[in-house]
Structure 1
Amino acid sequence: MTIGIRDAVQAVESGAVLGLLSSWPRVLALGEPTHNEDLLLEVRNELFRQLVEDGGYRTIAIESDCMMGLVVDDYVTTGTGSLDEVLARGISHGWHTAPPNRALVRWMRAYNEGRPAAEQVRFAGCDGSLEMTGAASPREALTALHGYLAARLDAELLPCAAETLDRLLGADERWSDPDALMDPSRSVGRSAEAAELRLIADDLVALLDAETPHLIAASSRDEWDRARLYGRTAVGLLRYHYWLADTSPGRMARLVGVRSAMLAANLLAAAERGPVLAHAHNAHFQRHRSSTRLGDLRVEWWSAGAIVEARLGGEYAFLATALGTLRHRGVDTPPPGTVEGVLYALERDRCLVDPRRLRAALGDAPVARESSWFGYAPLSAEHLTGSDGIVFVKDSYGSAAGQT
């Protein structure tokens, strides 16, 4: 069996990725089984650099706030701002301190220097304006969309004045209350003001669509694309806040579903302007239904990757990442018979695995690996049938974020 499995592995290189695919897909997604591991981000950086240079990819999207990501995109394309400021303002979830994220942004800026706009690589945050403990106020997205339209259209076309938006939004702290995730009564998402804002957001997005020819001529395609991002984000956030205030058994499933749909919409929008490399948790990209357990509640949803594939078909590809050990998290040598255990026995620091040949070499379904730490999600049998490749990293040793 070991000989057959050795035939299924190659170096983690762009040429090997292409060998697993019939052609370069429009969206090539690389997952990770846990966050905050510098080695995984370094593997991502090296592979993405090769794919930009060899595969013609022109957008790199990571699991970060889509609105904040505009700051990074401005920097890598024009040099606007300082690297430290751009990282702090442009990458969410506290991941701006990770050295590999800093290295990625620095490389993107260096790659773009002196290149015409059509050949530059763009940056995108593909996640909504969401954190694990809550969601942002829709203020930034709504006011930016309103401002874009107000500057280019007659006032009577707009559903309201800027002052009305400000009054309805109120204090941003009402929207971002972290306690609302566990206590629906703390959410303002079903207040009269929120209901009115949802109608206004819908009207603003409809107006943006209806006036597309004029708006692109009066600004630019890039500015219009950004306005679409403002609209997607405003509508998505208001929808998310609506379900935060829900008390039904389906509340959590709707919340994760809204987030997944926002992530998918951002990837599809990025793919309209050219091929996209995306990086996020495996659960955001896998083809089979994602799930998690919150106490006694099991929550299931379709990942952003599954949604994107439903729209793009063969233009979507997914590489899952698997890890052998995270000893600093109590995740030790994987048991024999698990996917990670079989690959760990090959004694390769990292490799790219053909899941079809691995399935054939394994024969029977692999043993399910149980993680001793909640933050790491092992591969399942579904990943062998639902991924186009597996990036295996033998051992990871934690993040150096915050170190000098």
Structure 2
Amino acid sequence: MATDLKETIRPVDSAAVMGLLPARPRILALGEPTHGEGALHAVRNELFRQLVEQEGYRTIALESDCLMGLLVDDYVTGLDDASAEDELDDVMTHGFSHEWGAFPGNRELVRWMRSFNAGRPASDQVRFAGVDGPLEITGAASPRQTLTTLHGFLAERLGTGLLPCSGDALDSLIGPDDRWTEPAAMIDPSRSVGQSAQARELRLIADDLVALLVAHAPGLIAASTPDEWERARLYGRTATGLLRYHFWMADTSPGRMTWLLGVRDAMIAANLLALAERGPVLVSAHNSHLQRNQSTMRMWDHPRLEWWGAGALVDAELGAGYAFLATAVGTIRHQGVDAPPSGSVEGLLYALPGDHYLVDAGRLAASLGEHLPDARVSPWFGYAPLDPAQLAAADGIVFVRDAEER
């Protein structure tokens, strides 16, 4: 078995990745089984650097707030201040959700992107994007930023005659932001305002605002820079998705959590497809968001939730234009994840030499045949092991032997 497995591995570099695929994908997805591990960030950063320098990739997207990410993109493409370390501190604090700006690997990525862009024309610069909605596990943002920005964009270019309401009326309907950000609403739907009369009217307004973007696209594009147009579309997608998310936060049916998970991943997928319009994208997010198979998880009193993740949705749209590399690790000792059982997929890979490598997932699945290894059970909730039954649905596996604390 070990001899066969050795024939499936190769270095983690852009040439090896492209060698696994029939053509350069429009979206190359690099999953991760846990968040925040420096060793995984180091592998991601080096692969992105190679994809930029050797394969023409110019966008990296992370599982972070799509609106906050605009601050990061402005920083890496705006080079007026050559000594911007103080500004970088602010960007890392306010440009990432889930407190991921504190991770050294993300800081290194942003610093490298800005350095790469120095002296380059805008058309050749690398770009940053968050693709997640403005959502946290405990709740979601107020729709104020998305709705008022989109309303202002349209009012400036179309006038107010076609808009479904005035700016003052929009502000009144939104009301205080803390009504929308109530943390208790995730556990108690009755604390959510997502199905109030005002929220229902806002959904109709958001739909009309997005309809104006579509109906007047030629004139709006002519009156805007490419970035202004792209961001207007982003605000439109986010406004409608966010209001839909709030609606289901207030729901009491058994399908509530499935809806919330599905809405989130649909927002991620829509953002990825929009980014791919400007060129090939490397996206880094949890394996469960990027895999082709249906995703599952346990949460609170739900023993098994099932939904289609962003990867499955994008794959259905792009086919061969989407590629997925799952990531697995051998150990995360500082989290109590010790050497994997020898009978698991991770255990078989852990027995091979090397700190990290790329595995041909198709050849690995073929070598294992019908007798699949046992599924690894993680002692730490923050790490999701590989599902042996899903190996063949990945294009490759990035295996990191030891995720050491940094």
Q: With structure 1 as the length reference, what TM-score do the two structures score?
A: 0.97
What amino acid is the match of 1:387?
Answer: A
Equivalent pair of 1:180/1:244 in contact (CA under 8 Å):
yes
Give 2:389's aligned residue: 382
Equivalent pair of 2:372/2:389 in contact (CA under 8 Å):
no
1:391 counterpart (389, 392, 398): 398
Equivalent pair of 1:61/1:276 in contact (CA under 8 Å):
yes
Any stretches of 5+ residues in structure 2 without a counterpart?
none
**Stretches of 4+ moved more than 4 A in 1?**
none
2:263 counterpart (258, 262, 270): 258
How far does the alpha carbon of each residue in 1:99-149 deviate from its partner, in whole angstroms, 9 at most, with x for none? 110010111111111111111111100100111111000100111100111
1:269 counterpart (271, 274, 279): 274
In structure 1, how many angstroms separate the alpha carbons of the residues matched to 2:186 and 2:226? 37
Alignment of structure 1 residues 1-20 onto 2, 5 Å? 1-20=1-20
Give 1:351's aligned residue: 357
1:282 counterpart (270, 287, 292): 287
In structure 2, how many angstroms separate the alpha carbons of the residues matched to 1:71 and 1:137? 18
Equivalent pair of 2:173/2:198 in contact (CA under 8 Å):
yes
Give 1:138's aligned residue: 143
What amino acid is the match of 1:334?
Answer: P
What amino acid is the match of 2:25?
Answer: P
1:248 counterpart (250, 253, 257): 253
Equivalent pair of 2:63/2:131 in contact (CA under 8 Å):
yes
Displacement after TM superposition at 1:295 (Å):
3.4
Q: With structure 2 as the length reference, what TM-score do the two structures score?
A: 0.97
How far does the alpha carbon of each residue in 1:190-230 deviate from its partner, in whole angstroms, 9 at most, with x for none? 00110110010001000111111111111122211100000
1:306 counterpart (306, 312, 330): 312
How far does the alpha carbon of each residue in 1:356-397 deviate from its partner, in whole angstroms, 9 at most, with x for none? 221233232121111111111000123311100000001112
Give 2:93's aligned residue: 88
Give 2:49's aligned residue: 49
1:222 counterpart (218, 222, 227): 227
Give 1:129's aligned residue: 134
Give 1:61's aligned residue: 61
Equivalent pair of 2:362/2:392 in contact (CA under 8 Å):
yes
In structure 2, how many angstroms separate the alpha carbons of the residues matched to 1:348 and 1:175? 49
Equivalent pair of 2:362/2:394 in contact (CA under 8 Å):
no
Residues matched between the structures, number: 399
In structure 1, how many angstroms separate the alpha carbons of the residues matched to 2:202 and 2:247? 11
Secondary structure, in 3 states, of the residue corresponding to 1:372?
A: coil
Any stretches of 5+ residues in structure 1 without a counterpart?
none
What amino acid is the match of 2:245?
Answer: Y
Displacement after TM superposition at 1:154 (Å):
2.0
**Once structures 1 and 2 are overlaid, which stretch shifts more, 121-130 or 323-332?**
323-332
Alignment of structure 1 residues 26-41 onto 2, 5 Å? 26-41=26-41
Q: Identity rate of aligned residues, in percent?
A: 65
